[in-house]
Amino acid sequence: MAPPLHKSTPPFSQKGIVYLIDDDESILSILGLLLRHHDYSYKAFTSAQSFFDCFELMNDRIGVPACVLSDVNMPNVDGLELQRRLALADDLPLILMSGLCSPKDVVEAFRQNTFDFLVKPFDNDELLRVIDRALKSNVAQRARKSTIQTGRLRLATLSPREHEITDRIKQGLTSQQIASSFDIALRTVKLHRQKIMQKLDVESHSELMQLLHLLEASDAK
Amino acid sequence: MIQLDVSTVRSITGIQFVVLPTLLLAILWQQRNRALLHWVAGGWLFGVGSLLLVAWFPYAFPGSDLIVRTIFFSALVARLGTISEELKHPISSKKIVMMLVMYVLAHELTRYLWATELSRQIFTSSITSLFSLYVGGLAFKLFRNERINGAIWIGSVFTAYGVLFAVRVTSLSVGAITTNQFSPALISETIALALVIFPVIDNMGYLALCLERVKRSEVTARKIISDQQASELLDRQITHLDRQRALAYMASSIAHELNQPLTVISSSIQLAKKITNSPETKAAELEELLKLLETNSQHATNLVGRIRSYIKPSLTPHDVVNMNQIIFDSITLMQPQLRSRGIKLTFTKDVKSLQTFGSAIELTQVLVNLLQNSSDALKDQPKREIKIHLIDETDCISLCIEDSGNGFPDKVIANFDTEFFTTKQNGMGLGLSISQFIANQHNGSLEFHNKISGGALAKLTLPKHV
Give the span between the Cα atoms of A9 and B15, in whole angstroms. Answer: 119
Crossing angle of helices A160-170/A205-220, nearest 10°?
90
> Which residues on adjacent β-strands are paired with residue A60?
none
Least confident of A1-10, A18-27, B94-103, B445-454: A1-10
Of A102, A101, A97, nearest to A127 by C-alpha is A97
A33/B288 Cβ within 8 A: yes
* Nearest chain A residue (CA) to B289: A30
Candidates B253, B256, B259, B267, partner chain A, best to mutate (most A CBs within 10 A): B267
**Is B263 in CB contact (< 8 Å) with chain A?**
yes
In chain A, residues with a C-beta closer than 8 Å to the C-beta of B274 are 37, 124
pLDDT of B458 strictly over 60: yes
Least confident of B43-52, B173-182, B369-378, B448-457: B173-182
Least confident of A14-18, B386-390, B427-431: B427-431
**Is B261 in CB contact (< 8 Å) with chain A?**
yes
Residue A78, helix vs strand vs coil: coil
pLDDT of B312 strictly over 60: no
pLDDT averaged over chain B?
Answer: 82
pLDDT of B186 strictly over 70: no
Query: Percentage of chain B surpassing pLDDT 70?
Result: 85
- Reported as a single tens digit per residue, the pLDDT across A176-211 is 888 888 888 889 999 999 999 999 888 888 888 888
- Reported as a single tens digit per residue, the pLDDT across A82-135 is 777 776 656 788 888 887 666 777 777 777 778 888 888 888 999 999 999 999
B260/A27 Cβ within 8 A: yes
Of B45, B40, B327, nearest to B203 by C-alpha is B40
Question: Quick one: pLDDT at residue B78?
Answer: 92
Residues contacting residue B186 through CB under 8 Å, at least 6 positions apart: none
Which has more pLDDT, B62 or B226? B226
Of B326, B363, B330, B346, nearest to B444 by C-alpha is B363
Does the global pTM surpass 0.95?
A: no
Judged by CB atoms within 8 Å, which residues 281-300 of B form the interface with A?
A: 285, 288-289, 292, 295-296, 299
Q: A36 vs chain B: nearest CA distance in angstroms?
A: 10
Of B303, B294, B285, B296, nearest to B262 by C-alpha is B296
Question: Quick one: pLDDT at residue A3?
Answer: 39
A26/B299 Cβ within 8 A: yes
Question: Quick one: pLDDT at residue A10?
Answer: 54
pLDDT of B417 strictly over 60: no
Question: Quick one: pLDDT at residue B42?
Answer: 92
Question: Quick one: pLDDT at residue B155?
Answer: 92
H or E stretch at B399: strand B396-403
Judged by CB atoms within 8 Å, which residues 143-172 of A form the interface with B?
A: none
Question: Quick one: pLDDT at residue A143?
Answer: 85
- Reported as a single tens digit per residue, the pLDDT across B237-281 is 666 666 666 666 667 777 777 888 899 999 999 998 888 887 777
* Nearest chain A residue (CA) to B253: A100
Mean pLDDT, residues B439-456: 86
Of A99, A13, A8, nearest to A54 by C-alpha is A8
B259/A124 Cβ within 8 A: no
Q: B241 vs chain A: nearest CA distance in angstroms?
A: 20
Give the span between the Cα atoms of A95 and A137, in whole angstroms. Answer: 12
Residue B74, helix vs strand vs coil: helix
* Nearest chain B residue (CA) to A36: B285
**Is B253 in CB contact (< 8 Å) with chain A?**
no
pLDDT of B354 strictly over 90: no
**Is A121 in CB contact (< 8 Å) with chain B?**
yes
Mean pLDDT, residues B329-353: 82
* Nearest chain B residue (CA) to A125: B270
Q: By 3-state DSSP, what share of chain B in percent is helix, strand and coil, each rounded to 5?
A: 70, 10, 20
Give the span between the Cα atoms of B177 and B250, in whole angstroms. Answer: 98
Which has more pLDDT, A173 or B419? A173
Judged by CB atoms within 8 Å, which residues 66-85 of A form the interface with B?
A: 73
Candidates A28, A72, A120, partner chain B, best to mutate (most B CBs within 10 A): A120
Mean pLDDT, residues B41-54: 90
* Nearest chain B residue (CA) to A22: B260
- Reported as a single tens digit per residue, the pLDDT across B68-83 is 889 989 999 999 999 9
Q: Find how far residue B151's CA is from the centre of its chain.
A: 30
Confidence band of B193 (pLDDT split at 50, 70, 90): confident
Confidence band of B56 (pLDDT split at 50, 70, 90): confident
Residue B427, helix vs strand vs coil: coil
Amino acid at A13: S
Q: B292 vs chain A: nearest CA distance in angstroms?
A: 7
CA angle centred on B370, ends B369 and B375, rounded to 5°: 95
Residue A221, helix vs strand vs coil: coil
Mean pLDDT, residues A25-45: 91
**Is A39 in CB contact (< 8 Å) with chain B?**
no
Candidates B252, B259, B260, B276, partner chain A, best to mutate (most A CBs within 10 A): B260
Question: Quick one: pLDDT at residue A2?
Answer: 37
Mean pLDDT, residues B398-421: 72
In chain B, residues with a C-beta closer than 8 Å to the C-beta of A27 are 260, 263-264
Question: Quick one: pLDDT at residue A87?
Answer: 67
By the 8 A CB rule, do B165 and B125 touch?
yes
pLDDT of A1 strictly over 70: no
Give the span between the Cα atoms of A163 and B87, in whole angstroms. Answer: 98
Q: B297 vs chain A: nearest CA distance in angstroms?
A: 11
* Nearest chain A residue (CA) to B288: A33
H or E stretch at B461: strand B456-463
Question: Quick one: pLDDT at residue A182?
Answer: 86
**Is A38 in CB contact (< 8 Å) with chain B?**
no
Of B428, B438, B265, B429, nearest to B367 by C-alpha is B438
Mean pLDDT, residues A133-160: 88
Mean pLDDT, residues B132-140: 93
pLDDT of B1 strictly over 50: no
Residue A97, helix vs strand vs coil: strand
In chain A, residues with a C-beta closer than 8 Å to the C-beta of B295 are 26
Give the span between the Cα atoms of B91 and B83, in whole angstroms. Answer: 10
Q: What are the strands of the beta sheet with A116-119, ordered from one edge? A: A5-8, A41-45, A17-21, A66-71, A94-98, A116-119
